[in-house]
Structure 1
Amino acid sequence: MSSVLKRKKVSWTLNHNTVDHKDQAITYSPTENGLSKSGLPSNNKPQELKKKDAKKQPPARRLKLFEIYKFADKLDFLFMFIGAIACIGTGAVFPLMMLVYQNVATSLVKTSIPPNLLNYTTPPNINPECILKPVNSTADTLSELRGMIKWYLILGVCSVLCYWIGFSLWMITAERQVRRIRFALFRSILNQEMGWFDKLNPGELSNRLVADLDKIRDGLGDKKADFISLICRLFGGLIFAFVTGWKLTLVFIALSPLTVIAFNITMRVIAKYTAREIKAFSKASAVAQEVLGSIRTVTAFSGQKKEEERFAENLREAKQIGIKKGLYMGLCQAAAQVAIYISFTITFWYGPYLVRTECQNYNAGAVIVIFISCLQSTFSISQIVPNIQAFAEAAGSGGYVFDIISRISKIDAFKSEGEIPTMLVGDIELQNVIFTYPARQDTPVLNNVTMKIPSGKTVALVGASGCGKSTSIQLIQRFYDPDQGRVLLDGKDIKTLNVAWLRSHIGVVSQEPVLFTGSIEENIRFGKPDATDEEVRAAAKMANAHDFIMALPE
């Protein structure tokens, strides 16, 4: 082989003085510009560069309010509308049940007053008109209660139906939208150029397809239904309480922030220490996975005791975190209970006072339902917070996912654009190619490379590991585009050719072949799904795989 070396340029030409003029070898020779002796620098990426690239990743944007519904169709919007109405009905049932319960409580209290109460002298500071008199007999009370029980049954049936319709429709539309998002994300990932994959951390894409989409589903599905229901219960309960007795309601609302703050602190403590606990257990799991994966090495060096200690050390860390979590959770739960009982005490002190002094507006039943309504509204606020957190996580995950979906690939294999030649000869040429990997801009891989490979010739690229042999093949496959120079096929720049057509005429067997789930026949047909059985057998024979395939059991 002859090579012509010029300053800042390397040119490879083929020597046809071989045995049969078919087998040729190309060896990368030393060049200038700081290249390795094999002609090109190594592709190995230092760890500090990987960390540097990871830091360059821009933070994911958050989705706007209605942007998360980008993949919803008309039927989904109809489902969401009906589901929202049903969830509103679920929340509206609560104040109606309190109205019925008020009548029940009032009726029971009136019936339970002993007749001799009328003989008592009115205590001081009590309005004489507020002395309750037994107006109902037991029979009358039972008759009233039967009528109220009917209303309870009606409201119960309405609540079940609204809950079932609302949550079902929201979860159905969430699954429909997530299915479209998942497919669009997977399709967009498959369509991206190799340079985009080089910049990603390992396992990040699989995490996007699983964890992020689960968060989006939560933000679109039952969390949304629960949020609407809780909001309606919150405002419905407060409105009912204000209408029934605004003074007592204001007193309870003034105390409710104590309960809300206590519950929120509890949730934050749980989230904080749960994350630490999971991280500690994940370290222990990593140790176990590492040991079990290399059990022969561990056994060969009698390292069982050492690995036991390493595993136990990580478990001790998780244990300490769990103890702290339990202590802090106990304190927070105690504070929450104290706040609740303070609200109970003041409410049940002030409520009877209003009954004694303002019996025209307050009775025993009113005090009870005001207390229950305000208490449920307070709990609703605490339950709303996790839903808001789920929406925030869905917006964050959705921003990253939607950015991937909307990203336009620099080398789009799905587009029908590009020339499709009617005849293919197979002459390949690299002209003055300069290339660096997108994730390693400071490390040149090919520098002014010129190479000609005529059709019908068997060519070997010989060189040290990392000198650019595989990179040259990837440029021919158009996994990447060169920074400068051109890659030609039959004299045409491959950038002008249809990408799918180009790759369909290239067969590649990598150093470590990969088999996909399925039969051997399906794997052979992977590059040409419409291949005939004869073509499949011919391909297996060319790869010297036909005999051992036929020897495999059915």
Structure 2
Amino acid sequence: RSVTIWEKIIAVLLCKGDLSDEELDAEPCSTVELFRFATTPQKALFTMGIISAAITGLLMPLNQILSGNVANAYLTHPNETAGDSAALAIVTHIVYLYAAGTAVQLLLNFVQQHLLLTVTNSVVDTLRREYVSAVPRLDSQSLDSTSPGKQSTELNDNNDKIRDGLGEKFALVVNSSGIFILSLVTAFAYNWKVSLVLLPLGPLGAVVTGLSGKFSARTIKQHMETSARGASLIEESVMNVKTVAPCNGQDEMVK
């Protein structure tokens, strides 16, 4: 399959190797193509959920900034007397900001989860209906090359992956990107020298994440293949129980 330049760059950054040599059972589907099964209001709701995830990510570094300001308020007023409430006033103001930010983050997280899960469940339900309606249109050769049990297992596994990707992972990427960008900008604004030293930790974390995803993807693929074979064997045994039992093949089928 043809690999775009953007995919090659991401593959190099995440240590995924050459994508053109990767063996795939089917042509990958982009996120945009998945939304052809979504209506216009659902697309708008999904966009609102992603925006909520981005805002939540941008607000996360502010908590660390406020915590640092609390420590700075006490450090700049070390010899405060009982009648001097300058540090207390500063800390109280910061606490109010912290409480307001926490309430906003809680609200945005609720909106994000509700909107994304609602849209994702609708898209997955539409995909399931389209898949089931397309099965009778397959030719006899395609139907003979697989089994209903394997098709059902693959459908459920792929739907779970789509639900997990659109409902959680997509928002997690946006949220983490917002945290990283604002943290980077804030760090350079406070002390660019220290930030420059710690800057390589960002790409290093991306490399580690890419390597872990590469190893986990191999395990997930093996799990799906084993699960599909098991489902096919169970279906064959149940449907042909009259043949299996007279031939004393129960133990073999169980193994």
Return the TM-score normalized by structure 2: 0.70
Q: For residue 145 of structure 2, what is the amino acid of its counterpart? A: K
Q: CA deviation at 1:210?
A: 0.9
Q: Distance in 2 between matches of 1:203 and 1:209?
A: 10
Per-residue deviation, residues 350-382 of structure 1 (Å, max 9, x unmatched): xxxxxxxxxxxxxxxxxxxxxxxxxxxxxxxxx
3-state SS of paired residue (2:199): helix
Find the partner of 2:73 among 83, 107, 113: 107
Matched, 1:93 2:47: no
The alignment-based identity, stated in percent, is 22
The aligned counterpart of 2:92 is 146
Distance change (3 Å), C-alpha of 1:77 and 1:278? closer
Q: Distance in 2 between matches of 1:105 and 1:151?
A: 15
Q: For residue 69 of structure 1, what is the amino acid of its counterpart? A: F
The correspondence of residues 282-321 of structure 1 with structure 2, limited to 5 A, is 297=248
Return the TM-score normalized by structure 1: 0.34
Kept in 2, the 8 Å contact 1:170–1:224? The answer is: no
The RMSD of aligned alpha carbons is 3.7
Find the partner of 2:144 among 198, 204, 218: 198
Find the partner of 1:239 among 173, 185, 198: 185
The aligned counterpart of 1:21 is none
The aligned counterpart of 1:340 is none
Q: Distance in 1 between matches of 2:183 and 2:44?
A: 28
The correspondence of residues 526-541 of structure 1 with structure 2, limited to 5 A, is none
Q: CA deviation at 1:59?
A: 4.2
The correspondence of residues 427-442 of structure 1 with structure 2, limited to 5 A, is none
Distance change (3 Å), C-alpha of 1:108 and 1:266? farther
Find the partner of 2:171 among 201, 225, 240: 225
Q: For residue 199 of structure 2, what is the amino acid of its counterpart? A: I
The aligned counterpart of 1:75 is 41
Distance change (3 Å), C-alpha of 1:137 and 1:90? farther
Matched, 1:249 2:182: no
Which structure 1 segments of 5+ residues have no match?
1-57, 116-133, 312-554
Kept in 2, the 8 Å contact 1:111–1:138? The answer is: no
The correspondence of residues 118-129 of structure 1 with structure 2, limited to 5 A, is none
Q: Distance in 2 between matches of 1:232 and 1:59?
A: 34
3-state SS of paired residue (1:61): coil
Find the partner of 2:129 among 183, 188, 198: 183
Matched, 1:160 2:106: yes
Kept in 2, the 8 Å contact 1:186–1:209? The answer is: no
3-state SS of paired residue (1:63): coil
**How many residues in Structure 1 have an aligned counterpart in Structure 2?**
216
Kindly indicate whether structure 1 or structure 2 has the higher relative contact order, using CA contacts under 8 Å at least 6 residues apart.
2
Matched, 1:216 2:159: no
The correspondence of residues 515-534 of structure 1 with structure 2, limited to 5 A, is none
Q: CA deviation at 1:64?
A: 3.7
Distance change (3 Å), C-alpha of 1:137 and 1:197? farther
Larger Rg: 1
Distance change (3 Å), C-alpha of 1:211 and 1:273? closer
Q: Distance in 1 between matches of 2:86 and 2:53?
A: 37
Q: CA deviation at 1:251?
A: 0.7
Q: CA deviation at 1:199?
A: 3.1
Q: CA deviation at 1:275?
A: 5.6
Q: CA deviation at 1:274?
A: 5.5
Q: CA deviation at 1:264?
A: 4.9
Q: CA deviation at 1:80?
A: 1.2
Q: Distance in 2 between matches of 1:259 and 1:84?
A: 23
Matched, 1:174 2:120: yes
Q: Distance in 1 between matches of 2:102 and 2:191?
A: 25
Distance change (3 Å), C-alpha of 1:101 and 1:194? same
Q: For residue 83 of structure 1, what is the amino acid of its counterpart? A: G
Per-residue deviation, residues 331-364 of structure 1 (Å, max 9, x unmatched): xxxxxxxxxxxxxxxxxxxxxxxxxxxxxxxxxx
3-state SS of paired residue (1:243): helix
The aligned counterpart of 1:449 is none
Q: CA deviation at 1:135?
A: 11
3-state SS of paired residue (2:26): coil
Per-residue deviation, residues 517-541 of structure 1 (Å, max 9, x unmatched): xxxxxxxxxxxxxxxxxxxxxxxxx
Which structure 2 segments of 5+ residues have no match?
1-23, 238-243
Q: Distance in 2 between matches of 1:136 and 1:258?
A: 49
Q: Distance in 2 between matches of 1:158 and 1:139?
A: 29
Q: Distance in 1 between matches of 2:58 and 2:199?
A: 20
Q: For residue 67 of structure 2, what is the amino acid of its counterpart? A: Y
